[in-house]
């Protein structure tokens, strides 16, 4: 089946999320330390605790990724009250630093450019809020290559929920077997795509166990984004 579109995950697929996130947390610590005596180790532990709590409480929603909620929870734990100015400053500092440290993955732009020439539509299918993901797309200078953005905020459900993939297919006006989903997460990206009959592509440097459950097995495994081009070309021969 000839493929008409590729659905790309964004974070840790088209750029290194963890590098930017680490830099952002590094910038947050001294800011908080101005207001309260706290070690960096303690701050990181509190942030993780707040992160885990919010994700558990709001699982399956885009709000579960909202950093302002994480920082609000941290301040509630350190100050036992709400401090709007501190929370908002932490939120702004986090995302400003994060965006400034984002670097597009090797070969990503060239790959998107070639896919565009091949008339392959491109959609970003991603969890988190639309506002932040739009800022990331703009920062990475991907706008001219991306036809559609679908976020969990817009869809009302997170990957692997079928609703987010169905919304992407609807925007693209294609059938599941006419698309490929590329992502790094075996549950969110691969399981989600497999459940709808969308060919799944896992981008990872890790070895995937042979006995991995069928519903989490990707159709293809790649280490770099440019390898997607070979998959598309193979599909044209079918």
In this structure, what is the dihedral angle of CA atoms 123, 125, 130, 133, given to the nearest 10 degrees?
A: -80
Q: Assign 199 to helix, strand or coil.
A: strand
Secondary structure of 103-122 as H, E, C letters: CECCCHHHHHHHHHHCCCEE
**CA distance linking residue 158 with residue 164, whole number of Å:** 7
Residues contacting residue 22 through CB under 8 Å, at least 6 positions apart: none
Catalytic: 12? no
Catalytic: 9? yes
Residue pair 27/93 in contact (Cβ under 8 Å)? The answer is yes
**CA distance linking residue 152 with residue 188, whole number of Å:** 11
**CA distance linking residue 99 with residue 165, whole number of Å:** 26
**CA distance linking residue 19 with residue 90, whole number of Å:** 18
How many C-beta atoms lie closer than 10 Å to residue 2's C-beta?
11
The catalytic residues are 9, 11
């Amino acid at each position: 089946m000839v493929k008409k579109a590729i659905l790309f995950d964004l974070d840790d697929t088209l750029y290194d999320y963890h590098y930017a996130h680490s830099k952002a947390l590094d910038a947050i610590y001294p800011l908080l330390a101005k207001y309260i005596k706290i070690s960096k180790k303690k701050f990181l532990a509190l942030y993780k605790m707040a992160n885990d709590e919010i994700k558990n409480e709001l699982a399956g929603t885009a709000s579960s990724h909202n950093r302002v909620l994480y920082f609000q929870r941290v301040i509630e734990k350190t100050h036992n009250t709400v401090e709007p100015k501190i929370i908002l400053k932490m939120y702004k500092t986090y995302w400003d630093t994060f965006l400034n440290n984002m670097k597009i993955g090797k070969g990503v732009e060239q790959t998107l450019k070639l896919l565009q020439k091949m008339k392959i539509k491109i959609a970003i299918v991603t969890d988190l809020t639309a506002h932040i993901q739009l800022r990331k797309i703009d920062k990475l200078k991907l706008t001219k290559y991306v036809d559609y953005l679908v976020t969990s905020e817009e869809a009302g459900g997170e990957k692997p929920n079928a609703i987010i993939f169905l919304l992407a297919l609807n925007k693209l006006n294609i059938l599941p077997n006419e698309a490929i989903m590329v992502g790094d997460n075996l549950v969110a990206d691969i399981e989600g795509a497999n459940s709808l009959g969308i060919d799944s592509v896992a981008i990872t440097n890790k070895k995937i166990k042979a006995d991995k459950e069928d519903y989490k097995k990707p159709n293809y495994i790649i280490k770099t984004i440019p390898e997607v081009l070979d998959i598309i070309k193979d599909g044209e021969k079918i």
